A = this chain, B = another copy of it.
Amino acid sequence: MSGRTTVVIQGVESPGEVPGIEALETNAEFRCVGDLNALRRALPGAEVLLGWNFAAADVIHAFDRADRLRWIQWGGAGVDAALFPALVESEVTLTNVRGVFDQAMAEYTLGMILAFAKDFRGTDTLQRERKWLHRPTEPVAGTKALVVGVGSIGRAIARTLRAVGIEVEGVGRTARDGDAEFGRVRGNEDLNRELGSADWVVLVTPLTGQTRGLFDAARFAAMKSTARFFNLGRGALVDEPALIEALETGVIAGAGLDVFSEEPLPAGSPLWGMENVVVSPHMSGDFRGHEEAMASIFLDNFRRYRAGEPLVNVVDKRLGFVPG
């Protein structure tokens, strides 16, 4: 490819905010945009869109301006906000940053499990009151986790939980045997049965037409009353009012939530005030250094794009994720 490629970078004020991007300067012309109006002005004529700090919902409202767009590099693992018909049906290639967040999310999940098992919140509360109150802790080794979503994030979580002696089962879109990480992967049709024996339920499946609202009142009812539920995937995977009711009425014992049906979580949500719920602001995957890891995927893909080679992390837009 000769000539410079026009790249719109969403969510930065200057290209220098993307680590290492100066290496592309001879081959690329950058247009940095900060909001929807700027995105709409910048898209005409651009071949590449790099979603860096993602106002993901903006893309649907600017896509009609994408007259020459050939490739979107999505700045996240979950591409649900890109799965609108005009983009799905277009020739535009969609890539994500699969893999970048895996280890951080696995560590975050294990941390939340240990925090519940060892009652770190109780310890914090007692410390603020300067109260010395011994409590026995829950052992973690020998407990059972169910990971819903068997992509690269779910696999990293499974590996990490197993490393400390937690038994892990995986639930995916379709049941299958002989999976390298999970052995037997259960299908969604077995989900309720699997929920009945899990101490920890970890939701990391992509948000698609098949998974929207996957966890409803019936799912929570199928769980053990001592179980804790973790959502690190997407808020819309869960019927949030049903979750709140399950937590308030003791149907399940607790939850660690990093994603919500509306983000930022509105100040009026009862979730903020619940003793058995940890609310964190969609940060489980974002470790110090994740920008470099995200950039390196884009830089590699940009070189491939210019050389006419196949890109990595190409999303199957009908499935809604990068096939394993």
Contact = CB atoms under 8 A, between A and B. Distances in A.
Interface residues of A, number: 50
Contact of A110 (B114, B132, B134): B114
B137 A286 contact: yes
Contacts of A111: 111, 114-115, 117-118, 120
A60 interface: no
A167 to B, nearest CB: 15
Interface in A71-122: 103-104, 107-108, 110-112, 114-115, 117-118, 120-121
B118 A279 contact: no
Contacts of A118: 107-108, 111
* Copies of this chain present: 2
A259 B118 CA distance: 16
Given A127-B272, A278-B124, A288 B103 contact: no
A286 B119 CA distance: 12
Interface in A262-281: 263-265, 267, 272-273, 278-281
Given A111-B117, A120-B120, A164-B164, A281 B134 contact: yes
A139 interface: yes
Nearest to A283: B134
Contacts of A280: 123, 127
**A120, A124, A290, most chain B CB atoms within 10 A:** A120
Contacts of A135: 283
A23 interface: no
A272 B117 CA distance: 22
A127 B255 CA distance: 14
The CB with the most chain B CB atoms within 10 A, among A123, A263, A290, is that of: A123
A138 B160 CA distance: 16
Given A107-B137, A139-B287, 19 more contacts: A103-B141, A107-B117, A111-B111, A111-B114, A111-B115, A111-B120, A120-B278, A123-B278, A124-B124, A127-B278, A127-B279, A132-B265, A132-B281, A133-B281, A135-B283, A136-B287, A137-B286, A137-B288, A139-B289
